[in-house]
């Protein structure tokens, strides 16, 4: 029997299973949302609104707005059933980040200044895939309206461009059309293991344009295989950049386990929760949790994938711990449960680097509470 939430519409509430009351869980989720998305706590706030009805999520460590953060904010908003925040972020994104001209026309500029000026004219595929999934969920939860709030059509258009830009000699696709793997950026022939979201691709395979659906179904299979391939067989550590055979790609020094890599654990856990596919490499979570179990969060560092530490400390230790805890959604072991209970008592990160840590924190909190959910079309 298939037991994933896609089939059963039942979500694991690991926090409740471990004796935390539903009232305490709900209170923490609301408090976290308010601290990040309102002025309740200026030292933690990452979302800001503009006088013209739009909004943006700030990467506080770099003082810019990124497609990563905007798409994360949209996913958080739709999960929290907050259409106002969702629409404000999407409106800002379409107004300032969408590229109308040039080789990347139809994609979104990965970084902008807080006033909307583009810092770069290149895209980052992790933003596009989160935009598309968030827009589908918004369509199913809020209902489509006039452009740019015709959410489902916007999502389909993004995914169509991701697969066709390179076929007319005026750009590059975001996925390799032969091996079905997402690229780090469209112009390169390597990947980022943390970009791989097979649980999203399964749904794209149902909701994208009909001519694209078979590609996305195959992409889900290939990404599960790739996540397993890229993770070290003993430590479970994945590099930030990896070649298509899964080996680390050290170009620009990104072949080690560092900030991007942390997301792999949460991605595996959500894939297992939503689809419970036998090919989802949940054993990677076991290896990661075992590797870090005796390392204090204050001692987290950059690591080679074989576990050799560098002197360089982790930029986002709270984010790393949060994703290790999120793995407990898929692994009901004593060690996993220790991560989960410790995580629930852990505060959000303050300071300039808080953005990335607290995004990973909030996703982990929603997932462990059984509130990082699939939203289906209303007529299904």
pLDDT per position as a tens digit, 90-136: 999 999 999 999 889 999 999 999 999 999 999 999 999 999 999 99
Residue 12 CA to residue 84 CA, distance in Å, equals 28
Residue 80 CA to residue 302 CA, distance in Å, equals 33
- In 3D space, the residue among 95, 139, 101, 99 whose CA is nearest the CA of residue 115 turns out to be 95
Catalytic, out of 64, 68, 176, 277: 68
Answer left, alpha or beta for residue 11, where phi above 0 means left and psi between -120 and 50 means alpha.
beta
pLDDT at 56 over 60: yes
Q: Tens of pLDDT along 204-258? A: 999 999 999 999 999 999 999 999 999 999 999 999 999 999 999 999 899 999 9
Q: Are residues 55 and 133 in the same domain?
A: yes
Average pLDDT over residues 161-166: 84
Residue 265 CA to residue 257 CA, distance in Å, equals 12
Q: Are residues 319 and 188 in the same domain?
A: yes
Average pLDDT over residues 187-203: 97
Q: Are residues 298 and 321 in the same domain?
A: yes
Catalytic, out of 260, 271, 277, 357: 260
Q: Which two tokens stand for residue 159?
A: 């995914």
Number of domains in the chain: 2
Domain of residue 26, CATH code: 1.50.10.10
Domain end point (choices 125, 145, 174): 174
Q: Are residues 234 and 354 in the same domain?
A: yes
68 is catalytic: yes
| Beta-ladder partners of 238 | none
How does residue 379 score in pLDDT terms, banded at 50, 70 and 90? Answer: confident
Q: Are residues 281 and 347 in the same domain?
A: yes
Q: Are residues 161 and 305 in the same domain?
A: no
Q: Residue 55: which residues within 8 A CB-CB, separation 6 or more?
A: 47, 48, 49, 73, 85, 88, 89, 91, 92
Domain end point (choices 146, 174, 202): 174
Q: Are residues 305 and 162 in the same domain?
A: no
Q: Are residues 180 and 295 in the same domain?
A: yes
The pLDDT, as a whole number, for residue 167 is: 57
| Beta-ladder partners of 57 | 47
Q: Are residues 199 and 113 in the same domain?
A: no
41 is catalytic: no
Structural domain that includes position 119: 46-174
**pTM value?**
0.97
Torsion of CA 8, 366, 200, 269, to 10 degrees: -80
Residue 231 CA to residue 258 CA, distance in Å, equals 13
For 61, counting Cβ atoms within 10 Å of its Cβ (0-12 exposed, 13-18 middle, 19+ buried), the class is middle
Residue 284 CA to residue 234 CA, distance in Å, equals 9
Q: Are residues 73 and 19 in the same domain?
A: no
Q: Tens of pLDDT along 4-53? A: 999 999 999 999 999 999 999 999 999 999 999 999 999 999 999 999 99
Domain end point (choices 140, 174, 208): 174
């Amino acid at each position: 029997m298939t037991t994933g939430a896609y089939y059963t519409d039942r979500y694991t509430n690991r926090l409740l299973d471990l004796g935390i009351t539903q009232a305490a869980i709900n209170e923490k989720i609301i408090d976290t949302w308010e601290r990040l998305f309102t002025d309740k706590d200026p030292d933690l706030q990452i979302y800001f609104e503009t006088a013209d009805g739009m909004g943006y999520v700030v990467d506080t460590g770099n003082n810019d707005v990124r497609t990563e953060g905007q798409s994360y904010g949209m996913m958080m908003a739709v999960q929290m059933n907050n259409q106002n925040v969702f629409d404000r972020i999407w409106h800002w994104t379409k107004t300032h980040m969408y590229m109308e001209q040039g080789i990347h026309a139809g994609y979104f500029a990965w970084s902008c200044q807080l006033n909307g000026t583009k810092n770069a004219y290149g895209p980052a595929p992790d933003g596009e895939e989160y935009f598309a999934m968030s827009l589908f969920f918004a369509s199913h939860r809020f209902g489509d309206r006039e452009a740019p709030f015709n959410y489902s059509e916007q999502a389909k258009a993004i995914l169509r461009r991701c697969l066709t830009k390179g076929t007319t000699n005026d750009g590059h696709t975001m996925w390799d059309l032969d091996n079905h793997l997402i690229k780090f950026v469209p112009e390169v022939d390597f990947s980022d293991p943390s970009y791989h979201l097979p649980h999203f691709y399964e749904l794209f395979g149902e909701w994208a344009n009909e001519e694209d659906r078979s590609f996305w179904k195959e992409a889900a299979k290939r990404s599960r295989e790739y996540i397993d391939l890229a993770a070290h067989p003993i430590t479970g550590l994945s590099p930030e950049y990896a070649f298509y055979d899964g080996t680390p790609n050290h170009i620009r020094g990104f072949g080690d386990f560092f900030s991007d890599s942390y997301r792999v654990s949460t991605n595996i856990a959500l894939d297992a929760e939503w689809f419970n596919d036998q090919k989802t490499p949940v054993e990677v979570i076991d290896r990661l949790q075992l590797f870090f179990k005796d390392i204090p969060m204050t001692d987290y560092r950059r690591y080679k994938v074989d576990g050799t530490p560098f002197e360089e400390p982790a930029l986002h230790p709270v984010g790393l711990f949060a994703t290790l805890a999120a793995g407990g959604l898929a692994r009901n072991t004593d060690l996993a449960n220790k991560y989960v209970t410790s995580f629930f008592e852990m505060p959000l990160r303050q300071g300039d680097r808080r953005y990335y840590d607290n995004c990973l924190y909030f996703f982990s909190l929603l997932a462990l509470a059984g509130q990082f959910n699939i939203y289906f079309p209303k007529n299904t």
